[in-house]
Amino acid sequence: MDDPALFALLQPWFWSRPVNASLDFTTQPIQSIPAHLEATITHYEPYRSQALQDARLWLQLPLAIGIGLEAIPIEPFEIRAIERWQEAVSPLALRLEWSVRMAGDDIDWTTDSIHCVAREAGHWRIVALLFDTQRVKVQRSLPVECDYELH
């Protein structure tokens, strides 16, 4: 990836999800969006409000993990103008790889993506975490709708 700041934006989002080595994909409720993640979301409405709603869903999704989890950007991706942003990437896809055993001879992987990120005021920001179809699927998978507080 040519822009390390873009990859640096994604790392805390993935690592803030609950770790799930069993791969049963059970969601875990959250109480609030961590301030360090909220600070990486766009400031422009209505995108910010939707991204904050997406964050509440995203942070409940388990992160499939094994030994030595590595996030690898799936390239090529195109930085282009999208709506109000001159530099944006949509989607930004990642391949998550890990070893199943300590020997490292059995690798498992999955893909994941963030719907849209854009450069805003010199920093990469989350514009949308989920695609509309992903959002509906995640909402249906959650056991109970909860009220969450924002900082």
Q: What is the pLDDT of residues 99-127, one digit of tens each?
A: 877 776 778 888 888 999 999 999 999 99
Please indicate whether residue 73 or residue 133 has the higher confidence score (pLDDT). 133
In a domain, 148, yes or no: no
In a domain, 58, yes or no: yes
In a domain, 57, yes or no: yes
Domain count, the chain: 1
% of the chain residues with pLDDT over 90: 34
Whether omega before 46 lies within 30 degrees of 0, making that bond cis, reads yes
In a domain, 28, yes or no: no
Residue 52 domain boundaries: 4-21+33-141
Residue 103 identity (one-letter amino acid):
A
In a domain, 151, yes or no: no
- The structure's pTM equals 0.78
In a domain, 150, yes or no: no
58: exposed, middle or buried (Cβ count in 10 Å: 0-12, 13-18, 19+): buried
- Give the pLDDT confidence score for residue 127 in this predicted structure: 97
In a domain, 74, yes or no: yes
